[in-house]
A and B are shown apart, each in its own frame.
Chain A
Amino acid sequence: MEQRTHSLRGIAWLWLGIAIAVLVVGFRQAIFLTPAEATMGDLYRIFYYHLPHAILGLIFPYVNLAASLAFLFWRRRDPLKALTADALAVAAAEVTVLYVGICLATGMLWGKPAWGIWWAWDARLTSELLLWLLYVSYLLLRRYSPSGQAGTLGAVLSVFAAIDVPIVYMSIQWWRTQHPAPVFGPNGGGIDRQFWPPVLWNIVGWLLWGVLIMLFRFALERRRQLAEQEAALQAIEASLEIPQ
C-alpha cells in the first residue's frame, strides 16, 4: 500500500510537469507565434482558451454520467465499488462546473468587444448556461441530501442533467443562433491550417490539467470515504465492548 501510494505520487508529479509544459507551449503558440486573425485581430486569441474549455466541458459530464450509472449498477451488488464510482462522479461534476464556468467567462469576454454585448440569449449560450446550472444544482443536492443518500440521489439527477449535454451539442443546428457555427465535425466551418497548432496544444494541455485535478479530487473523496468507514467501524466496535 505504502509502495503504491509512493509510485502514484511520482506519476502525479510527472503528470503535473507534462501538463504545465504543454500549457506553456500552448500559451507561447497562442499569444506569440500565431499571426493575428484577419478580421478580429488579437481578440481572436481568446478563442484558443474558449474552445478547449467548451469541448472539455462537454466531455467531463459524460465521465460523471458513466460514474453515476456505474454507481446505480453496483449500489446493491457491490457497495465498495459503488463508493469508488461515486467519488469519481463528484470529482467529474466539480471539474465540469469549473470548465463550463471558464467557457462561459471567456465567451463573455470575447462577446463584449466582438458583438458589443456581454451576453445573448441565443440557443447555444443558453444551453451552456443551463449545463452549468444543472451541475451546480447537482452539487447542491449532494450537499443537502441526508448522509447515505447523497450518492443515489445525485446519480439520479446526473442522468437528468446528462440529457442536457446532447441538447447543447445539437442546439446550434436546431435553432437559429448568434453563436458562430461549429468549428469541427461534418458541418463545421473549419479553421485555417496556421491556427491549428495553438488549438491542438491548448486542447491537449487543458485535457491533461482537467484529468489531473479530477483524479486529485477523486483521491481526496476516496480518503474522506475511507475515513468515514473507519469511524463507522470504530463506533460499531466500541458499541460491542462489554462495559466493566
Chain B
Amino acid sequence: MNYLRHVLDHLRKDLRLEWRSRDSINGMLFFALLVVVVFGLAFDPTGYPTTTRQIAGGVLWVALLFASITALNLSWARELRNQVLEAQRMAPSPASALFVGKALANMLFVLVVEAVLAPIFIIFFNLHVLGNAWLLVLILPLGTWALVVNGTFFAALGLRARNRELLLPLLLLPISLPALLAMVQGTTGILTADLDSIQIKTWIEQLAGYDIVFTTICILLFETVLNAE
C-alpha cells in the first residue's frame, strides 16, 4: 500500500511537470504526425486501399516507436537538472517506485498521442477496418506498454552515457523487436481481416507475456541501474 502511494506521488509529479511544460506530448505528437505524412507521401495510400491496409499497422507502430523515443530521453533529462536524480537516489522510498511512476506517466503521454493520432491516421490513409476494430483497444495499450516500459528503463540506463540520444534506439530496438512483430501482426490482422480470431488471440497473448516478463525484469533491476557506479 505504501509502495502504491510512492508510485502515485511520482506519477503525479511527472504529470504536473508535463502539464506545465507540455514538451513531451507536443514533440511526440508533431513528430508522429510528420512520420504519418512522410509515409503518406511516399506510398500514396488513397490510390491503393488494399496495400494501405496491409502496411498501415506497421506504419502506425513505427511512427509511435520513433515518437516515443524522442520523449523518453526527455523524461529522464528532466531529473538531471539541479541534481534531482541524486536526491531521488537518497530518498528512502524504493527506487523502482520512481521507475514505475515514470513509466506510467510516459504511458499516459503516448496514449494521449495515440488518441489524437488515430483519427488523423484513419483520415489520411483512407482506412476501412475490415476486422473486429474493438480488439485494437486491447492491442494498443499492450503494445504501448511494451515500448514504454523498456524505453523508460533503457533511457535511465543510458542516462549518463556519452551520447545518450544515439544509445537509446540502439538498445531499445533489438529488445523491442519481438513485441513490435506481435503488435504489427495483430494490428494488420485486424485491419485486413486476414487472420482468424485464434491467430489474433495468439499475438495478443504473446504481447501480454512480453509485457509481464519485461515489466518484472525492469522493476527488479532498476535499482542496480540507478546506482550503477
Nearest to B178 among chain A residues (CB) is A167
Give how many B residues have a beta carbon under 8 Å from the other chain's beta carbons.
23
CB contact under 8 A between A153 and B178, given known A144-B158, A160-B217, A163-B217: no
CB contact under 8 A between A140 and B217, given known A146-B161, A152-B224: no
**Residue among A137, A149, A164 making CB contact with B160, cutoff 8 Å:** A149
**Taking the complex as formed, is A148 at the interface, i.e. its CB lies under 8 A from any CB of chain B?**
yes
Contact in complex: B171, A72 (CB < 8 Å): no
**Taking the complex as formed, is A156 at the interface, i.e. its CB lies under 8 A from any CB of chain B?**
yes
- Chain B 13-53: CB-based contact to A (< 8 A → 1; otherwise 0): 00000000000000000000000000000000000000000
**Taking the complex as formed, is B163 at the interface, i.e. its CB lies under 8 A from any CB of chain A?**
yes
Contact in complex: B157, A157 (CB < 8 Å): yes
Contact in complex: A141, B167 (CB < 8 Å): yes
Contact in complex: B228, A163 (CB < 8 Å): no
Contact in complex: B174, A149 (CB < 8 Å): no
Q: How far is the CB of A81 from chain B (nearest CB, A)?
A: 17
Contact in complex: B160, A146 (CB < 8 Å): yes
**Taking the complex as formed, is B81 at the interface, i.e. its CB lies under 8 A from any CB of chain A?**
no
Q: Is the interface of B mostly helix, strand, loop or mixed?
A: helix
Residues of B within 8 A of A144 (CB): 158, 161-163, 166-167
**Taking the complex as formed, is A130 at the interface, i.e. its CB lies under 8 A from any CB of chain B?**
yes
Interface residues on A, range: 20 to 34
- B residues 174-191 near A (Cβ < 8 Å) are 174-175, 177-178, 181
CB contact under 8 A between A156 and B174, given known A144-B163, A149-B229, A163-B213: no
Contact in complex: A153, B225 (CB < 8 Å): yes
Q: How far is the CB of B178 from chain A (nearest CB, A)?
A: 7
Contact in complex: A134, B175 (CB < 8 Å): yes
- For A126, A157, A161, A164, the residue with the greatest tally of chain B CB atoms inside 10 Å of its CB is A157
Residues of A within 8 A of B171 (CB): 137, 141, 157
Complex Cα distance, B167 from A7, in Å, reads: 43
Nearest to B225 among chain A residues (CB) is A156
CB contact under 8 A between A137 and B158, given known A149-B228, A149-B229, A152-B228: no
Q: How far is the CB of B216 from chain A (nearest CB, A)?
A: 11
Nearest to B221 among chain A residues (CB) is A156
**Taking the complex as formed, is B170 at the interface, i.e. its CB lies under 8 A from any CB of chain A?**
yes
CB contact under 8 A between A156 and B157, given known A146-B162, A149-B228, A163-B217: yes
**Residue among B162, B177, B178, B224 making CB contact with A156, cutoff 8 Å:** B224
**Residue among A133, A145, A167 making CB contact with B174, cutoff 8 Å:** A133
Residues of B within 8 A of A130 (CB): 174, 177-178
**Taking the complex as formed, is A159 at the interface, i.e. its CB lies under 8 A from any CB of chain B?**
yes
Complex Cα distance, B171 from A141, in Å, reads: 8
Complex Cα distance, B161 from A140, in Å, reads: 11
- Chain A 151-184: CB-based contact to B (< 8 A → 1; otherwise 0): 0110111011101100100000000000000000
Residues of A within 8 A of B228 (CB): 149, 152-153
Q: Told that A145-B161, A153-B225, A160-B217 touch, could you supply 7 new A-B pairs with CB distance under 8 A?
A: A72-B224, A130-B174, A140-B167, A140-B170, A152-B225, A157-B157, A163-B213
Interface residues of A (CB under 8 A from B): 72, 126, 130, 133-134, 137, 140-141, 144-146, 148-149, 152-153, 155-157, 159-161, 163-164, 167
A-B contact pairs, 15 of them (CB 8 A): A126-B181, A133-B177, A134-B174, A140-B170, A141-B157, A141-B158, A141-B171, A144-B158, A146-B160, A146-B229, A152-B224, A152-B225, A152-B228, A160-B175, A163-B217
Interface residues of B (CB under 8 A from A): 157-158, 160-163, 166-167, 170-171, 174-175, 177-178, 181, 213-214, 217, 221, 224-225, 228-229
The 6 closest A-B pairs by CB, nearest first: A133-B174, A149-B228, A152-B228, A144-B161, A134-B174, A148-B229
